[in-house]
Structure 1
Amino acid sequence: MCTSFAVHRDRTFIGMNFDISDRPIKLALRGEDQLLVLQGENGNDYPAFGMNGRGTFMNLQMVDPKKEGLYRRGKNCVHMMRLFEDVLSGRLEPTALQSYLDGKTITNVPGYSVHSLIAGKGRHSVVVEPGRGSVEPDEAGRDFVVLTNFSLSNRKDRTFTDVQGAGSDRYTKAYESLSAHKESFTTERGFALLQETVQREGEYPTQLSLVFIPEEGTVYFALRADFTKIYSFSFETNQIRTAKGFASPKQLALTKKGVSVSELQSWMA
C-alpha cells in the first residue's frame, strides 16, 4: 500500500516504504541514470517507483479509482506510465511539471488506479492524482508532503488528523513526525519515520524502505523491515554497498539486468 514523503530544507529528503504482497522484487538500472524498483507479476517486471541521477523521484501508489481517471485515449490524455517514463528519463523536469499538467488529462493504465509523489531537489514536489488533479505542498504553506493510499485532493481543507481512507493512520503518524522534526531532518530521522509507519503483517508487508538524498546522489535502503542493516546506492558509481550493520563489507555494480531483493538479503548472513 505504501507510505512516501518529501522534506525540503537545506537538503531534500525523499522516503518511501514499499508495501506489497510477497513477490519477486529487484533493483535495476534503466537508461543512462535511472534506478528502478521493479515488482514481478505474472512473469513480468513492472516499475513500482524510481529515481534518477538528476535527483528526481516518482512512485506509483494505490488509491481508490475515480471515473474521470480511468484509462482512455485522447489528444491531451497521458497515462501514468507515460508520465513515469517522461519524468525519470529527464524529458520532463520537475520545474516544468505543473505547467505540463495544466494542459494534460492524466489517466491510469488499464486495470490499475494509482497516484504519484513526484519530488526533486530545489523544493519541487507535486502529487499527481488521475481524475482528481494535482496537489502541491506549497498550497498549504508546508515544507513537506506525505502520501499514503487515500486521495490528497480530498483533504485540502481538512487538518492532518481529519482524514479517512486507506493509510490514514500511517499518514497521520508521518505528518506528526515531519511536523516535529522538519527543522533538523536527517537520514536517520527518515528511517525512524519509516519504521514508525512500517507494515509487518497483513496483505501488504513492507518489502523495501528507502531514503533518497538528491543533492548527494545517494539512496539508502533497508529490506523487509530490518532497519538494523542499511544498504546504499550511489548514482556516481552505480554501486550498491553495505552501509551499516553488516558483519563484513560487500558491494556490486548494478546493471540493467538488476539484482533481486532476495540476493541482497543473502548479504545479511
Structure 2
Amino acid sequence: MCTSFVVYGTRTLIGMNFDISMRPIKLVYQKDSQLIVLQEEHGQFLPAFGINKSGTFMNLHMVKENEAGKYRRGKNCVHIMKLFEDVLGEKLALADVSAFVGDHVLVNVPGHSVQSLIAGRNQQAWVVEPGKGALDVANVDPNFLVMTNFSLFERNENECITGEVPGADRYQAVSERLTSLQEQLELETCFSILQDAVQQGGDFPTQLSLIVVPDEGLVYFALHANFEKIYCFSFHNQHIRTEKGFQSPMQSTLTKKGVAISELASW
C-alpha cells in the first residue's frame, strides 16, 4: 500500500510514500547508475522502486489482481520486473514505454499484482499495469498525477472513487492538495503533501517518504513519517547526507552493498 505522485511545472517533482509491513528495508546503489530500494520478503531482498542517474523513476504499487495480468509464460509475455530492469537500466527509453507495452503481454510476477508509475524528465510519465496496458499521464492531467492502490485504468473509466476503493482517501487528499496549489511546488510543500497521506498504524505503516528531483540528480527522503529529519542522496557523488533537522552533519557513500534504513535512522 503506497501513495505516489508526479508534478510537472518549471521542474519535475516525483513523490512517494512507501507503505509496507515492518521488515528490513535498505537502499543500494547498483550498476553505477541506479538507486534501488529493497525490502525483505521470505529471506530475500526484492526491489520495491528505484531511480536512475538520468532521473527516471519506477515503482510497484499493490493493486487488485486482474485475470489478464496474472503471471504466465508465453512467447510474447514479459513480466513487470523485466520492464523494471529495462527502464531503470535504460534499455528501454521513456518515450518507447507505451509502444513496448502495446507490443507485448505484460504480466505480474508470481503471487503479486501491481501497477507502476514510470516518470522522468521532459514531462514524460506513464502508468503501467499488467493486463491493462500503459496510460499516458498527459491524457489524465497535464500538470500532475496521483496513484495509490486502485487501478487508474478504472479511475479513467469511472470518475467516482468511493471510500471503499483501496487508497481512495489518500488519493483524494493528495489530489486536493495538488489541485489547490497555484504556485511552484517546493520541497517542504511536497513533504507536507506526503505527510497528509501517511499511514501510521495498521498493516502498512509508512516506512519511507521521498521526493525525487530528476533535473538535479537529487533524492530527498524521510524515515518512518518523521518529517523533522530530511536526508538527501546525490547521484553526483553517490553520497547520502543529512539535509535538515540533525544535531550534527553526517554523510556516507552508498554502494551496492547498501545501507539499512534502520542504520540511517540512528544518525
What range describes the TM-score normalised by the shorter chain of this pair?
over 0.9
Q: Residue type matched to 2:211 in 1?
A: V
Equivalent pair of 1:28/1:254 in contact (CA under 8 Å) = yes
In 2: Cα distance, 1:65 partner to 1:140 partner = 22
Q: Which piece of structure 1 moves more, 129-138 or 187-196?
A: 129-138
TM, length-normalised to structure 2: 0.97
Structure 1: segments with no counterpart, 5+ residues: none
Corresponding residue for residue 202 of structure 1: 202
Tell whether 2:33 aligns with 1:41. no
Deviation of the 1:189 alpha carbon: 1.3
Q: Residue type matched to 2:250 in 1?
A: K
Structure 2: segments with no counterpart, 5+ residues: none
Equivalent pair of 1:155/1:163 in contact (CA under 8 Å) = no
Check 1:129–1:88 CA distance in 2 against 1; reply closer, same or farther (3 A cut): same
Q: CA RMSD in A?
A: 1.3
> Which SS does the other structure have where 1:156 is aligned?
helix
Equivalent pair of 2:155/2:161 in contact (CA under 8 Å) = no
> Which aligned pairs between 1:46-125 and structure 2 lie closer than 5 A?
46-125=46-125
In 1: Cα distance, 2:165 partner to 2:182 partner = 25
Q: Residue type matched to 2:239 in 1?
A: Q
> Which SS does the other structure have where 1:95 is aligned?
helix
Deviation of the 1:142 alpha carbon: 2.8
Structure 1: which 4+ aligned runs deviate by more than 4 Å? 160-164
Q: Residue type matched to 2:244 in 1?
A: K
Deviation of the 1:261 alpha carbon: 0.5
Corresponding residue for residue 237 of structure 1: 237
Check 1:53–1:111 CA distance in 2 against 1; reply closer, same or farther (3 A cut): same
Equivalent pair of 1:160/1:175 in contact (CA under 8 Å) = no
> Which aligned pairs between 1:111-260 and structure 2 lie closer than 5 A?
111-159=111-159, 164-181=164-181, 183-260=183-260
> Which SS does the other structure have where 2:179 is aligned?
helix
In 1: Cα distance, 2:164 partner to 2:14 partner = 24
Q: Which piece of structure 1 moves more, 258-267 or 128-137?
A: 128-137
In 2: Cα distance, 1:262 partner to 1:40 partner = 13
Q: CA offsets, 1:171-227, max 9 Å, x none?
A: 011111111126421111110110000000100000000000000000000000000
Equivalent pair of 1:232/1:240 in contact (CA under 8 Å) = yes
Q: Which piece of structure 1 moves more, 207-216 or 173-182?
A: 173-182
Q: Residue type matched to 2:200 in 1?
A: R
TM, length-normalised to structure 1: 0.96
Equivalent pair of 1:27/1:36 in contact (CA under 8 Å) = yes
> Which SS does the other structure have where 1:215 is aligned?
helix
In 1: Cα distance, 2:109 partner to 2:140 partner = 30
Q: How many residues align?
A: 267
Deviation of the 1:162 alpha carbon: 5.4
Equivalent pair of 1:27/1:38 in contact (CA under 8 Å) = yes
